[in-house]
A and B are shown apart, each in its own frame.
Chain A
């Protein structure tokens, strides 16, 4: 099905792509270590097959489902999205996958489903970072979206990148891609999706609530308390050109998503 994927040009950037080796060798996936190259080194034995996803909470159809059965009915597409990390670097990546809304709708979320919570696999045997002694993060990694954010056509579930299956370091077999939010929202290796009535706490929010809010929308006007978010370095950067560019509101996707936050004080709801 990945091979049959067509590029969705409505949702694709025409910027220069970050080369494949950089996309698969520069990862923040702390379950596999703190260094950028740790995940590519330590995740190669990671087992992604068989893979099941548990659906819980405020939906008509809940239970545990095999991944292939969940994604088989959907049409795969390619989308070229900007990825803006909260650490102020960015990439342009061709993802393969399905719209998140398509997958969520099949479980028939009820009117009580105001939020969606996602959980990463917890398996310290396979994920050495979850055994790390001095980690500031609680495992498993948890992230969340408001239901209207989750149902927005931009929200995407990726199973592949650059026309190939997703490598483990990029979040195989299934990861979220929310291009208008900082990268840490795009949770990897998802094993659980829960529909909730109340706002879920996310991992980074629990670790440092003053630095990472629930929304985490890319916003050049709201700095991280310890660094500016006004600009970013587009990777790969060579040594004598840091490749610094201006950061755009909602990572350049304001037209598609700004209306979701109409009337909200984005300094408060950062």
Chain B
């Protein structure tokens, strides 16, 4: 029982969140199946998967601030799921890019990776998510102890890489960069503020 939520109810909430984040993939599959993605389905799919990778990652970063500020302790239960969804959607995003846009043609893949800087930072972010996903189990958490926490701080670097990826793609509008950047900034500044507050009284002693 977590914070007054009964097991049966909390399981229901878990299912709700789990399917809530699976829904975008189902909707995308439906659009692909019914051919509603227009003349350039590849680009639509890649963008859609990328968007949900970012939303999932940002959700994982919002867990701690919301827990602290709004006393929503039960949210912690979903942090791993959010992180794994971020990994799941970002891998699909990368695979969709390599398959539907590049067609696994090695020379084009190489050219795209070397000439489009936003693809390099994006790919780096996905690579860095791998160790986090692999060590996301409770067992690994217990085994790595303190090092687990250090390792998972990589998520901050990853989120910055993702932001660079988004900003580097800006063309006709700053909309994406401002919205994603705003939500990330709040999640990060809350942490900085919190650790600043925490460290202050210690100095007086």
Contacts and interface: CB of A to CB of B under 8 A. Distances in A.
Contacts of A151: none
Given A136-B173, A226-B118, A242-B102, A235 B40 contact: yes
Contact of A137 (B45, B115, B172, B175): B172
A239 B102 CA distance: 11
B168 A226 contact: yes
A134 B175 contact: yes
Interface string B89-105: 00000000001111101
B143 interface: no
Contacts of B172: 30, 34, 135-137
Contact of A228 (B39, B111, B117, B118): B111
A13 interface: no
For B32, B40, B111, which residue has the most chain A Cβ atoms within 10 angstroms?
B40
A167 interface: no
Q: In terms of DSSP, what is the predominant structure of the interface of chain B? A: helix
Contacts of A222: none
Interface residues of A, number: 33
Nearest to A34: B173
Contacts of A136: 170-174
Interface string A16-46: 0010011001100010001011000000000
Contacts of A244: 103, 105, 108
Nearest to A241: B103
Nearest to B40: A235
15 contacts: A26-B40, A136-B170, A136-B172, A136-B173, A136-B174, A226-B117, A227-B112, A227-B115, A228-B111, A228-B112, A228-B115, A228-B116, A236-B40, A242-B101, A242-B103
Interface of A: 18, 21-22, 25-26, 30, 34, 36-37, 89, 91, 132-137, 223, 226-228, 230-231, 233, 235-242, 244
8 residue pairs, one from A and one from B, having the closest CB atoms: A22-B39, A26-B39, A134-B174, A242-B103, A134-B175, A236-B39, A235-B39, A30-B172
